[in-house]
Amino acid sequence: MNTFFSWLCKVIEIKLYDMFHTDTLRHRETARKVVELINKEPKSSRTTIDFCNIDFASRSFLHELLNDLDSSRKMAFVNISQGVKQMMVIVQKNIVSMVC
């Protein structure tokens, strides 16, 4: 990607703790709010989802989030705790096996 184009891309940062004021993300509805926020932005946007201060994310939350995000979008997940990372791996394996 050339420098001019990357300058034109909108950068979106979603800080989950600031958005929901909790260190625990449990519900599918919560994930849907994140997905809806991302989907309102142009597909050319670069999105960062920041898990700073999030100690727990349920399987339901992560499944909804990862399953409903458009895979063609430029996404980054940052500041993920080890526990949340492990749950993400479990969810991603289940999503892949469900598709096959």
Write out the chain's pLDDT in tens, 100 residues.
444 445 556 889 999 999 999 999 999 999 999 999 999 988 888 999 999 999 999 999 999 999 998 888 889 999 999 999 999 999 988 765 544 4
- DSSP code, position 9: S
Question: So what's the pLDDT on residue 51?
Answer: 98
Q: In whole angstroms, what separates CA 11 from the centre of its chain?
A: 14
What H or E segment, with its residue span, contains residue 61? helix 59-68
Question: So what's the pLDDT on residue 23?
Answer: 98
Question: So what's the pLDDT on residue 4?
Answer: 46
- DSSP code, position 48: E
Question: So what's the pLDDT on residue 1?
Answer: 44
Give the separation between CA 93 and CA 96, rounded to whole angstroms.
5
Question: So what's the pLDDT on residue 92?
Answer: 87
